[in-house]
Every structure is written in C-alpha cells, then in structure tokens.
Amino acid sequence: MQLRLGEMLIADGSITEEQLNEALAAQNERDDLLGAILISLGYIDEEILLDCLRRQGTIVKAKTRRDRA
C-alpha cells in the first residue's frame, strides 16, 4: 500500500504530525493541494515535495528551480 504524502513526510522526518494537522486544517479552509500548503507554511521546500511525489510515482521527472538556473 502506498503511503499518502503527509505520511511519507512524517516518516522521513520532514514534518511533524502537528505540522501535518495544521496543513490539513488549512486545506479544509482553502482549495489548494497539500504540498502547496506545506510549502507556503514553510514546512517543506519544492525539492522535498518533488522527491516524495517521485517516490509515490505521481511524477516521473520534474525540474526544480535549481535545475532551471
């Protein structure tokens, strides 16, 4: 069974359960993706999100801002 994004980030030590709960509450208030909310709260960066999405198989390869520079 594939882990959900929040579960993966907690397992990796990238965020705490409290941070996930805060982001999930924010997601209920606004129409945005969890990863985008976690980035906007400063809990993760784009590279961490992309790594998790790759491991989930959600994306195969995406360029980060660093790749574009």
| pLDDT band per the 50, 70, 90 thresholds, residue 58 | confident
pLDDT of amino acid 21 = 98
Give this prediction's pTM.
0.81
What are 32's two structure tokens?
């945005």
Kindly give, in sequence order, each residue whose CB lies less than 8 Å from that of residue 5, ignoring residues fewer than 6 positions away: 34, 35, 52, 53, 56
Residues 6+ apart with CB under 8 A from 62: 50, 53, 54
Q: So where are the chain's domains? A: 5-68
**Whole-number Å distance between alpha carbons of 42 and 14:** 11
Tell me the mean pLDDT in the region 38-60: 92
- Between 66 and 31, the higher pLDDT residue: 31
* Residue among 1, 9, 2 nearest 52 (CA): 9
* pLDDT average, residue stretch 6-19: 97
Is 1 or 28 the better-scoring residue by pLDDT? 28
Q: What phi and psi, each to the nearest 5 degrees, are found at residue 60?
A: -95, -50
